[in-house]
Structure 1
């Protein structure tokens, strides 16, 4: 069995789950994460909660990297270190501080100051590279990493004043850049019987449905070009029926993910390869179809054997997880 968890991190901000008392979280409700020590304590508590769930792959969105508001930490690295996982990757959608000049990074890893056009300036100031984006962490070895830029969509003009002809009555909001970070994972022998590897990705899409739909199509197309089977997870900002209407992939898992305090709808999803299912909801095995519908030889089809949601110490989203196994 393979367990995959996706969570919108909301830059590690303590949320509705911070007072539930698990993993030492109760003492961190309302914590000021701009202090590095406090920010690290929150991430350590989150990692302990994740470890309780025992996933094989963790997909994160709204991840900070070197930001003042979250203690200048590399949030991905802190969580991976606590989990004891060596394979992880942060991919910046933009470089620069949250409040300031945002720009496309020269290299999305932001592993050094040369990955950002203005990185050398931050180095002279004694500051680490700063950015914001998505991340993927896994307990299993990664054979290759991939990043796909998904664009940002159009800007939005909002009228706030009463005078239609007064330019001061309007505010311009630019869209946030988006990307997808993907990993092709090699599973050790026997880790998941019948499965030797797969490609997994984390993404966060725009809030506008038309833009998010186009971004999802681009993300799935890029992921599908990698060795299968495939899993795409993240904050898609789309309801289940909206995702289903695109006909791109098969949704797996269920349960509300937003808002974290009382989740009443699902916008965080896990998707896998489109495939006919039987009356029990399980994908039909390759032998049941044959012909042109059969997958490439040696590529298994994934079936859900369990799923759920959980509110963590951080975020205004609940996390959602799925358990998967190959169909013979």
Structure 2
């Protein structure tokens, strides 16, 4: 079984700034994942040409189950508000997605509030740090009917504010702690491997730098597991034709 996580930067390439549906489809096909977690996913946004990126990815990988969960609804630069789960299915949104080639037995969602404080950050094209406000976050969990029986998989994209992301990680892990083992947490946790493992109490299945995409120096994207799941082959962190992150792919199976 191949499990992968990928922060897709709403499908945009950092090389030419373009969003092209074919690039996302080709990237997902190249990952060849049985379970795929995506972050920074657009639905019906002008900047990604109104595409449903989750649906594109699902077709590309042959998923039988997929769910997009917005953290924000509306359009960047316009009416951009906290998603509640009550939005119309076709409303513009931005969030995370979980896709599977195996049937999903149940879904669950945990909503995570934004930190009150922002963080000064250097952004491309700026001469001085800019205060960037945090955003609400979301986690989506599925109980998957896998080849060796049910297991739990969760994906999220945590805050970039130090300390707050650790609080969110504890909340996410608590949210799926009663679900079937083995349990896997995938996503851009905006922290490095040591705190991710320590705070979550889960075992890292992959050690590879994933950010920034051209010369990755830090691992912000993780595959963490508990309950008897292990890596069964080499970990991959491929550079794909979109995003500012590399994807992370782990072949895995039961102990």
Question: Do Structure 1 and Structure 2 share a fold, with TM-score over 0.5?
Answer: yes
- Counterpart of 1:315? 243
Take 1:269 and 1:157, find their aligned partners in 2: how far apart are those partners?
Answer: 23
Which of the two has higher C-alpha Rg?
1
- Counterpart of 1:296? none
Displacement after TM superposition at 1:47 (Å): 2.7
Distance 1:108 1:3, change over 3 A: farther
- Alpha carbons 2:156, 2:189 under 8 Å: kept: yes
- Counterpart of 2:164? 211
Displacement after TM superposition at 1:245 (Å): 3.5
**2:8 is equivalent to residue 9 of structure 1:** yes
How do residues 80-229 of structure 1 correspond to structure 2 at under 5 angstroms?
A: 80-107=58-85, 110-112=88-90, 129-156=91-118, 173-187=132-146, 191=147, 195-229=148-182
Take 1:108 and 1:139, find their aligned partners in 2: how far apart are those partners?
Answer: 27
Structure 1 outlier segments of 4+, above 4 Å: 170-173
Structure 1 length as normaliser, TM-score?
0.70
Structure 2 length as normaliser, TM-score?
0.90
Residue of 23, 35, 46 corresponding to 1:42:
23
- Alpha carbons 2:7, 2:40 under 8 Å: kept: yes
Displacement after TM superposition at 1:44 (Å): 2.4
Take 2:157 and 2:87, find their aligned partners in 1: how far apart are those partners?
Answer: 17
Residue of 206, 230, 239 corresponding to 1:303:
230
Secondary structure of the 1:203 match is strand
Take 1:137 and 1:65, find their aligned partners in 2: how far apart are those partners?
Answer: 15
Displacement after TM superposition at 1:249 (Å): 1.5
**2:232 is equivalent to residue 251 of structure 1:** no
- Alpha carbons 1:91, 1:109 under 8 Å: kept: no
Greater helix fraction, Structure 1 or Structure 2: 1
Distance 1:47 1:110, change over 3 A: farther
Greater strand fraction, Structure 1 or Structure 2: 2
- Alpha carbons 1:98, 1:131 under 8 Å: kept: no
Residue of 60, 69, 73 corresponding to 2:47:
69
Take 2:98 and 2:37, find their aligned partners in 1: how far apart are those partners?
Answer: 5
Where structure 1 has 5 or more consecutive residues not aligned to the other structure, the ranges are: 17-29, 34-38, 113-128, 159-169, 274-299
- Alpha carbons 2:170, 2:200 under 8 Å: kept: no
How many equivalent pairs are there?
Answer: 247
| RMSD (Å), alpha carbons | 2.1
Distance 1:31 1:42, change over 3 A: farther
Where structure 2 has 5 or more consecutive residues not aligned to the other structure, the ranges are: 121-128
Deviations 1:241-276 (A, max 9, x none): 222332521111111101111112211111111xxx
- Alpha carbons 1:90, 1:109 under 8 Å: kept: no
- Alpha carbons 1:217, 1:248 under 8 Å: kept: no
- Counterpart of 2:222? 269
- Alpha carbons 2:119, 2:161 under 8 Å: kept: no
